[in-house]
Amino acid sequence: MNLILFGPPGAGKGTQAKYLVKKLNGIQISTGDMLRDEIKKDSDIGKKIINDMNDGKFVNDEIVNKLIENAIFDKTKKNRLIFDGYPRSLSQAKNLDFLLNSSNQKIDLIFFLNVNKKTIIKRIEKRKIIEKRTDDDLETILKRYDTYMETTKPVLDFYSKNSNFHVIDGSLEIKEITMKIDSFLNV
């Protein structure tokens, strides 16, 4: 089973993805984690990523799509993919469809964790203290939230026509969100 989890920064995608990994024996495909790994390596790609993130921008599609392609064509991950934060643009969504079709896979379920800005601010402030994430500067997060909502709207419109697309109130408690997701899994 392949799934997509959408939601702005701080919506709880990572938390739900980790749960789904355990429940479904899946593989979390977190572009955020992939990008942070490149930054830790201090590679040229990592330096480009950090500049984009510090400016509140999304990392360029070419970099992200290459990282995703490697995951999709890894035979050990086939039909076990849980996309956490990807795709974020219409071109990424079309690229994902192309890559999945090319590897004889599909998306089974799509979840949008819909959360307002006020809830995001509270969560980010808490996460910054607990996880000590360097990318959780409030001003940067607010830029990323606005950019996310603006650039992801076409992606949500693209997927919302599918019968496997579900909007979940992301301001609910973690357990409540998990129960709503479980209700669609049929496993």
- pLDDT by 10s per residue, the chain, length 187: 999 999 887 788 889 999 999 999 999 998 878 888 888 888 888 888 888 777 777 778 888 888 899 899 999 999 999 998 889 888 899 999 999 999 999 999 999 999 988 888 887 777 777 776 665 577 777 787 888 888 888 999 999 999 999 999 999 999 999 999 999 997 6
Q: What pTM did the predictor assign?
A: 0.82
Which of 99, 24, 136 lies closest to 5, judged by CA? Answer: 24
Which helix (H) or strand (E) is 131 found in, with range? helix 117-131
The vertex-140 CA angle with 60 and 21, nearest 5°, equals 65
Rounded Cα gap, residues 50 and 71, in angstroms? 22
Among the four given CATH numbers 3.40.50.10490, 3.30.70.2860, 3.40.50.300, 3.10.20.30, the one describing domain 3-185: 3.40.50.300
Residues in the chain: 187
> Tokens 């993805």 identify what position?
17
The domain spans of the chain are 3-185
Half-sphere exposure of 113 (CA within 13 A, CB side): 29
